[in-house]
Amino acid sequence: MIEQKPVKITETILRDAHQSLIATRMTTDQMLPIIEKMDKVGYHAIECWGGATFDASLRFLKEDPWVRLRKLRDGFKNTKLQMLFRGQNILGYRHYADDVVEYFVQKSIANGIDIIRIFDALNDTRNLECAVKAAKKENGHAQIAISYTLGEAYTTEYYINLAKEIETLGADSICIKDMAGLLVPYEAANLVTALKAAVSLPIDLHTHYTSGVAAMTYMKAVEAGCDIIDTAMSPFAMGTSQPATEVMVETFRGTPYDTGFDQQQLAEIADYFRPIRDNALDTGLLNPKVMGVDIQTLLYQVPGGMLSNLVSQLKEQKAEDKYYEVLKEIPRVRKDFGEPPLVTPSSQIVGTQAVLNVIAGERYKLVTKETKAVLSGEYGKTVKEFDPEVQKKVIGDVQPITCRPADLLQPELPKLENEIKQWKEQDEDVLSYALFPQVAMEYFKYREAQKSKMDITLADTETKAYPV
């Protein structure tokens, strides 16, 4: 008798899938009508919040991300909700003080998040400590992600040691976060087998289809003992997104890993999302280029989202002809910076610096403040040392820090509360402002302006709530 071990599925269509393919532009109103059907599938979790959804909601959709989360929580009666959280960066691009991290975790769980996937761009576990402790304090599930990448320092032994550290930190599960689609099938089998032997935590694998191998990678990983895989419903699958949910369900049907999902149910959900995808194609929001296989991902180790960002940066500079020069410069900059994994925010920092190096015609003639921060140790410790000559050229005689970067940050909440007291309508507003001060302030002003357009007689005077 073969042991049955159904693989669990985390559905990404409400977060990473539309972040990867249509720049995180799916609205809450587009999500809500299909929630009841999705809730009946039997997913392990729905990834629906965090990552870029927070910024995009405020900046482009003029939506409150906290309101979205509460509405999703109300709709999903049976399914766990999951978010992506960048450790000490939270959902922003700099390190925040511990009091902001703790409060954000508390409010995320209070508003409906069950599983917080926490990662650090440099795999510096010191940058995970505060968020993990906060999640455990609130009785949330702390899933710590390993940012997977390639390079001479990134051996199986490196990942085993990292996984052991993660288990010691108190993680409830581990995610192998392969943001650039670099993990090939047989290597996935080797890595999962090694991690399963080293730690006792459930293992979730997250990858992207960018390089064309992701579905095969999932298959080999599941056969090796991987417990959970991240997939996306077919209208928003593949390309720079995840493998299709329906395909992986069918792949494992009749095997010990059978999910038991109903394909008819999944087809109805896919039918709902297809017109949203088609409209994104018609309006140019979904670029067909992101749907193809880009084997350069394996050559340059550049995540799909970073590639599109590079193209737009070069367009702005009227230097699109420099695209391949920049692609070749990225691995050089990455090496200078201690060979970090390329994931937010390290991918943006490395990519932007590569663009500047090429356009200026001299390496590190122009540098961003983020490049200075990386080489000053403000983002944490990299797996290899920084190039000493580059570091000297960029930060001069500044003494790099070696402690946990957040130890140098003063509590921020009292100051932030004071700055937005005029605009505050809910406790969570201070967190929106903490992460994206300018964007949040513009949203608060927009929110205020919208109220004046509403019929005051429709307001609920008891709660001061307005119909939305």
Q: How far apart are the first and last CA of the chain?
A: 55
Q: What angle do CA 151, 406, 347 make, to 5 degrees?
A: 35
308 or 182: whose pLDDT is higher? 182
Task: Give me the pLDDT at residue 461, please.
Answer: 43
Task: Give me the pLDDT at residue 311, please.
Answer: 75
Task: Give me the pLDDT at residue 308, please.
Answer: 66
Task: Give me the pLDDT at residue 316, please.
Answer: 84
Task: Give me the pLDDT at residue 298, please.
Answer: 80
Q: Average pLDDT of 76-88?
A: 98
Three-state secondary-structure class, residue 244? strand
Tell me: the pLDDT tens digits for 158-178?
A: 999 999 999 999 999 999 999
Tell me: the pLDDT tens digits for 263-308?
A: 999 999 999 999 999 999 999 999 887 888 877 778 777 766 676 6
Output the CA–CA distances (angstroms, integers) from residue 267 to 38, 251, 270, in the order listed. Answer: 11, 16, 5
Q: What angle do CA 437, 439, 441 make, to 5 degrees?
A: 65
Q: Does position 456 have pLDDT exceeding 50, yes or no?
A: no
Count CB neighbours of 414 within 10 A. Answer: 11
Residue 227 — very low, low, confident or very high, per pLDDT cuts 50/70/90?
Answer: very high
What is the Cα–Cα distance from 435 to 425, expressed in whole angstroms? 17
Task: Give me the pLDDT at residue 410, please.
Answer: 97
Q: Average pLDDT of 29-43?
A: 98
**Which range among 272-281, 318-327, 447-456 has the greatest average pLDDT?**
272-281
Domains present along the chain, CATH in parentheses: 8-288 (3.20.20.70), 302-402 (1.10.472.90), 409-458 (no CATH)
Average model confidence (pLDDT) across the chain: 93
Q: Average pLDDT of 446-455?
A: 83
Residue 2 — very low, low, confident or very high, per pLDDT cuts 50/70/90?
Answer: confident
347 or 407: whose pLDDT is higher? 407
Q: Average pLDDT of 379-391?
A: 96
Tell me: the pLDDT tens digits for 93-134?
A: 899 999 999 999 999 999 999 999 999 999 999 999 999 999
Name the phi and psi angles at 203, rounded to 5: -115, 130
Q: Does position 53 have pLDDT exceeding 90, yes or no?
A: yes
Count CB neighbours of 55 within 10 A. Answer: 19
What is the Cα–Cα distance from 203 to 166, expressed in whole angstroms? 12
Structure tokens at 249: 């369900």
Q: Does position 312 have pLDDT exceeding 80, yes or no?
A: no
With contact defined as beta carbons under 8 Å apart, do 273 and 13 qualify?
yes
Q: Average pLDDT of 437-443?
A: 97
Task: Give me the pLDDT at residue 101, please.
Answer: 98
Q: Average pLDDT of 355-366?
A: 95
Task: For strands 115-118 and 80-85, give the pairing.
Answer: parallel
Task: Give me the pLDDT at residue 463, please.
Answer: 41
Q: Average pLDDT of 242-249?
A: 98
Q: Average pLDDT of 55-69?
A: 97
